[in-house]
Amino acid sequence: MRKLLLIEDDDLLRKSLAHFLRNQQFEVVEASNGAEALDEIRAASFNVIITDLNIPYIGGLEIINVIRNELFLR
């Protein structure tokens, strides 16, 4: 099964997308802010990461930069 991290601060939108993606045979891990997302990214590997750009604590672009510059090389 493909593992996906969904990062979205709007609860209703995140839950709706997660439900849809689970029906598409993804294993979905949800994060509601950037700090929570980085914890998940550092703890596990994902096939796909979908992020909102405007999220609390650490923005989506910063998350992308952390993945690209720090975590992609492990």
How does pLDDT run across 9-40, given as a tens digit for each residue?
A: 999 999 999 999 999 999 999 999 999 999 99
pLDDT at 74 over 70: no
Give the three-class secondary structure for 71: helix
Confidence of residue 69 (pLDDT cuts 50, 70, 90): confident
Confidence of residue 47 (pLDDT cuts 50, 70, 90): very high
